[in-house]
Every structure is written in structure tokens, then in C-alpha cells.
A and B are shown apart, each in its own frame.
Chain A
Amino acid sequence: MAYFLAQSGNALSLGGIYALLALGLAVVYSILGLINFAHGALMTLAGYVLVFAAVLGLPFYLSAPLAILVVMASAVLLERIAFRPVRGASGATMLLTSFAVAVLLQLAFQLFISTRPQVVPLPDFLTATVDLGSFAIGVNRVISVVVAVVVLIALNLFLKRTVLGLAMRAAADDFNVTRLMGIRANRVIATAFALSGLLAAVAAVLWIAQRSSVDPMMGLVPVLKAFIATTLGGLGSLLGAVLGGLLLGAIEIYLAAYLPDAALPFHGAITLGVVILVLVVRPQGLVGASRELGK
């Protein structure tokens, strides 16, 4: 039982990170129809900001917000430079653009920083564990769950209570009609990218808090997982992204915990097998809304 509870904590923590990443993808996709594969590079960028901030002697409680701000600004800049010129183009064109951006950024990290992992110094409290009676869990995991929940609630309030948030949901429904409300299209899109940057950076900080290193490929795998999570939940739906992320985290962790040793090498394949099974039963994903925000 204690083992199960400990694994459940891990599942929530990993699922929370996937949920944040999946949300970042979903926010942009629901408005622009763009699957932003450069999302992973944004995550990696957050990691390098943490590294440089540490070199400059900044404490973690300053370097983490700094990383978030830098990544938000970069996401908005990326939209201006790379995605605005192909806005309204076919899905394939936008997808290729985002691949190109992802590859370019990764090459830049390799060329200008290093191909080898860089250590991110973490404050001591992050590596401690909390004793919960029958089992113990890492502080980083607990923080991960708490931060994910807080961010999800804040995002939900933003989308429900502010005009800009409403405009983002409206733009996901119908972009031209949103402009008829007198709302600047560019502002809505910039906000979507800023939000996706925020989500990528928060996820990156939580990810790194459990690994304490960054390499040029760091964001690749988690964002690929996040993409699977959005598909699992229903591409473009916010609620779907969250549920998909949590479900994928749970599948991965419980399989790793309970598969017989002989099957462990096939862990990844079995995870994807379960995902495919879910999609066979529900091809539209768990929630099933396509390009709909805030439900």
C-alpha cells in the first residue's frame, strides 16, 4: 500500500508536468492550428537560463522566475519571427516551420553552449524528502504537484474572468469573428504564445528539479510525450490536455512500478500500446473537442 501511494505521488508529479506541457501545446494549437514542436526547445532554453543564472550567482528563487520570463519573451519573439509569416498557411507548412525552428534552436544550443549536459545547481530543500508516515516522497515531487495545480487554476481563472482570456477562447472558436469584437488578433496570438512559454518554462523548472542537469535535447522527449498526451485527451481541448497528461503520467509510472522485471525493457512500447488502445476505443480522445479552449 505504501509502495502504491509513493508511486501515485510520482504519477501525479510526472502527469502534472506532462499536463503543463500538453496545455502549452493545446493553447497555441486551439487558436492557430499549429502544433509547435519548438515547445521542447523552449523547455531546454529555460534550463540554460537556470544554468547561466547560477553562474552569475543568482539564487534559485530568482533564477526560476527569470527563466520563466525569458522563455515567455522568447516564445512571443518566435511567433513574430517564424510563425507570423506562415499564419493561415496549411497545417503542413506550419508543422514544417515549427520543426525547422526546433532543429535550429537545438543546433544553436549544441554549437554555442555544449553538446554535453550542464549541471543545474539546486537548493538543498528540493532534494530533501518528506516523510508521510508509511512512505516518503521527494520535496521536488510535492512541489511539482502543487505548482501544476496552482498554474492550472490560475490559467482557468485567466481564461474565464479576463477579457483577454475570453478573447483567447473566442479566437479558438472563431478567429475572424473575434476580430469583429474589436480585439486585436495579434494581441490574442502573442498572449497565446506567452502563455505557452510560461507553461513550458514552469514545466522545465519542475523537470529539472528532479534531474538537475540540462542538455540540448532535454525538451525533446517530454514534449513528444506531451504531444501524445494532447492526442490522448483530444487535440486542442484544454481539459483534454490536462487529463491526457495525467493519464500518460499514470500509465508510465504504474507500468514501471508493476511490470515484471522481464517486461521492463519494453516499458516504452507497452506505454504506447496502452495509449493506442485508448485511442482505438475513443479516436477523438478522452474529451474529444477539437480546437476548443476552456472547457
Chain B
Amino acid sequence: MAPMLSATDLHVRYGAIRAVRGVDLAVSEGEIVALLGANGAGKTSTLMALVGLVRPAQGEVRFGGEVISGRDTEDIVTRGMTLVPEGRHVFPSLTVAENLRLGAASRRDREAVVRTRAEILELFPILAERSGQAAGTLSGGQQQQLAIGRALMSAPRLLLLDEPSLGLAPQVVDDIFDLLVRLKQRGLTILIVEQDAVAALDIADRAYVMVNGAIAMQGPAAELRASEQVAHAYLGATMAETHA
């Protein structure tokens, strides 16, 4: 079966900077795939190109059999793929409820939206409690829950997450990763970018390692986890420290 998402020879440039240089990757339905790599490796740029927030300089992205590279982000989201951006980016001056409402802006079926909303509030009870509060006043962990909840409001088939653990306390990170596993069990497909390689490899089925804009290694998560080579050559301190 063809993968749900595939990128072929993907390139991203910012002027003279070549942030992504010929990335090939694929995500199949029901998988959690991790995209790992050090700071500046080009992970965020790859995700941005997948959802159309930056135009790939070269290459093709397919989602659900259709070519989506070159399409507007708005169209791509409506087709069922969305991104929880790095640094969360909830709308700080809007309330929690308003943030969630906007998450479903691409959907027409109101009853289905009400059901999704109920499910999300069940997953994140804190969002129900803080419903009327400005999102900017939430803690980092709560904002991350809101950012994920808001993305889920669009009822995606494929969820991209960019460093959901960034700046969060370890306990909160564990909760977020547990949640991702539960979402997978409910049938969601996930592509997650992480610097915390250990945590990501724990929940992922497969992983790619990015170095200098290109894929340097890939394979089943279990294999990469065992690989000393990964720890030393590609993931730098993150993994070495946790192993120590």
C-alpha cells in the first residue's frame, strides 16, 4: 500500500541557505514516525515544507495519493494534515475556547465538531477548566495541550508535531508522549520531530535522523535506539547524557 505521506527529493532554501537538501521520507497509516536531529539540522524546515508554510525549492510531497507540494497550507489542512508548530504558538490573546473553535474552522459539519470538542476536553480536562481564560496566561505544558487540542479540532488523519517537549518539565513531557500513544491507538498517524531522541524513539515505530539538511540514517525505532552510532554521531549530547 502506498504511504499516507511521502516526500521525494525535498529541498528548502532561504536565500543562499540550503536548509533541506534532498530529503526522502514516508509515513504509513497508523505509524508514529520520528524525525530526529541536532539543532539546525533542518527538521522544522522539512515540516514547514510538508504543510506548505514554506515552498519547497525542489521535490514533491504526496498526501493520500495526491501531490500537495505547491498547494496552500489552508488546502492541505482541509485535506487532513496539520502541524503543531515548534514553540506551541497558541493565540495568546484569544481564550482557550476561542483557540479550539478556530482549530475547527476548516470543518463544515457542526455536529461532528461538537463531538470532537467533547473528546478533546476529555483528553485535556484542564482545557475545560480554563475555557474562558486567555491562552497566553496558561503554563507551558497547558499551552502545549491546547496547541495539540487545537490541531485535533481539525480532525486530522496525520498530525505533525515539532518538538512538543521543548521547554517542558520531564513529567509534563511524559504525559504528552503518553497522549501521543493513545492518539495512535485511536487511529491517528503521527510524524514527530524531537531533540529528545530517547523519548521519541520510545513511542515511535520508525525514525529518521537528519544531519545538515539530509537524512543520514533511518530504520525501526528499536534498532536506532540500540545503535551507539546514533547516540554518538548524530544525536549528540541528548542521548549520551540520558544513557549516562
* Contact assessment for B93 and A293 in the assembled complex, using a CB-CB cutoff below 8 Å: yes
CA distance A166 to B93 in the complex (A): 10
Q: Given contacts A174-B89, A294-B93, are A163 and B105 in contact (CB under 8 A)?
A: yes
In the complex, the answer to whether A181 meets B93 with C-beta atoms within 8 Å is no
Chain B residues within an 8 Å CB radius of A133: none
> Given the complex, which residues of B lie within 8 Å of A178, measured CB to CB?
91, 102
C-alpha gap A179/B51 in the complex (Å): 10
B 72-127 contacts with A by CB, 8 A:
72-74, 77-78, 82-83, 85, 89, 91-94, 98, 101-103, 105-107
Q: Contact at B77–A166, with CB atoms within 8 Å?
A: no
Q: Is the CB of A167 within 8 A of B105?
A: yes
A170 located at the interface, meaning its Cβ lies under 8 Å from any Cβ of chain B in the complex = yes
Q: Identify which of B51, B94, B107 contacts A180 (C-beta below 8 A).
A: B51
Contact between chains at A173 and B91 (CB < 8 Å):
yes
Contact of B165 with A by CB under 8 A:
no
User: Cβ of B216 < 8 Å from any Cβ of A?
Assistant: no
A215 at the A/B interface (Cβ < 8 Å)?
A: no
Q: Are A183 and B93 in contact (CB under 8 A)?
A: no
Q: How far is the CA of A81 from the CA of B82 in the complex (A)?
A: 31
Q: Does A295 contact B73, Cβ atoms closer than 8 Å? A: no
Considering only CB atoms, which chain A residue lies closest to B84 in the complex? A180
Chain B: CB-nearest residue to A164: B105
B83: A residues at CB distance < 8 A? 180
Q: Are A181 and B53 in contact (CB under 8 A)?
A: no
Q: In whole angstroms, how far apart are the Cα atoms of A174 and B83 in the complex? A: 14
Establish whether residues A177 and B85, one from each chain, have CB atoms under 8 Å apart when the complex forms. yes
Expressed in whole angstroms, the minimum distance between the Cβ of B143 and any Cβ of chain A is: 12
Output the residue of A172, A174, A181, A295 with the most chain B CB within 10 A: A181
Are A182 and B154 closer than 8 Å at their CB atoms? yes
Q: Are A182 and B93 in contact (CB under 8 A)?
A: no
Is A179 a contact of B74 with CB atoms below 8 Å?
yes
User: Which residues from A are CB-within-8-Å of B89?
Assistant: 174, 177
Number of A residues near B (Cβ < 8 Å) is 23
Within 8 A of B (CB), among A66-98: none
A173 to B91, CA, bound (A): 6
Q: Identify the closest chain A residue to B135 (Cβ).
A: A173
CB-CB under 8 A from B77, the residues of chain A are: 179-182
Q: Which of A177, A179, A184, A289 contacts B91 (CB 8 A)?
A: A177
Task: Name the interface residues of A134-177: CB closer than 8 Å to any CB of B.
Answer: 163, 166-167, 169-170, 172-174, 176-177
Q: Are A182 and B105 in contact (CB under 8 A)?
A: yes
Given contacts A170-B94, A173-B92, A295-B93, contact A181 B103 (CB under 8 A): yes
* Also in contact, A166 and B102, with CB within 8 A (given A177-B85, A181-B154): yes
Q: Give 1 or 0 for each of B148-173: 1 = CB within 8 Å of chain A CB.
A: 00110010000000000000000000
Closest to B107 in A: A182
Q: Judging by beta carbons under 8 Å apart, are B53 and A179 in contact?
A: yes
- Assess whether A251 is interfacial by the CB under 8 Å rule: no
Tell whether, in the assembled complex, residue A180 and residue B53 are in contact, meaning their CB atoms are under 8 Å apart: yes
- Asked if residues B102 and A173 are in contact (CB atoms below 8 Å), the reply is no
Complex interface residues of chain A between 236 and 295 (CB less than 8 A to chain B) = 289, 292-295
Tell me if A185 counts as interface (CB < 8 A to partner B).
yes
Give the residues in chain B near A170, CB-CB below 8 Å: 91, 94, 102
Asked if A180 and B92 make an inter-chain contact with CB atoms under 8 angstroms apart, the answer reads no
Give complex CA distance A199, B120 in Å.
39
Nearest Cβ on chain A to B217's Cβ, whole angstroms: 29
Q: Which residues of A contact B85 (CB under 8 A)?
A: 176-177, 180
Contact present for B93 and A174 (CB under 8 Å): no
Kindly list chain A residues whose C-beta atoms are within 8 Å of the C-beta of B101.
163, 166
Please give, as numbers and ranges, the residues of chain B lying within 8 Å of A169 by CB-CB distance. 91, 93-94, 98
Residue of B nearest to A165 (CB): B98
Complex alpha-carbon distance, A292 and B94, angstroms: 10
| A183-B106 contact in complex given A166-B101, A174-B89, A177-B89, C-beta closer than 8 Å | yes
- Across the interface, name the chain A residue whose C-beta is closest to B147: A177
Are the CB atoms of B82 and A180 closer together than 8 Å? yes
Q: How far is the CA of A167 from the CA of B154 in the complex (A)?
A: 15
Q: Do residues B53 and A166 form an inter-chain contact, with CB atoms below 8 A?
A: no
B-chain residues with CB within 8 Å of residue A166 when the two chains form the complex = 94, 98, 101-102
A170 to B107, CA, bound (A): 17
15 interchain pairs, CB-CB under 8 A: A166-B98, A169-B94, A170-B94, A173-B92, A177-B85, A177-B89, A180-B82, A181-B103, A182-B74, A182-B106, A182-B154, A184-B74, A292-B93, A294-B93, A294-B94
Interface residues, chain A, CB within 8 Å of chain B? 163, 166-167, 169-170, 172-174, 176-185, 289, 292-295
Q: 7 nearest interchain CB pairs?
A: A182-B106, A182-B77, A179-B73, A173-B91, A170-B91, A177-B89, A181-B102
**Taking beta carbons and an 8 Å cutoff, which residues of B are in contact with A?**
51, 53, 72-74, 77-78, 82-83, 85, 89, 91-94, 98, 101-103, 105-107, 150-151, 154
Q: Using A167-B105, A176-B85 as known contacts, list a sample of 6 further A-B pairs with CB atoms less than 8 Å apart, ordered by residue number in A.
A: A163-B105, A166-B102, A173-B94, A180-B85, A181-B154, A183-B74
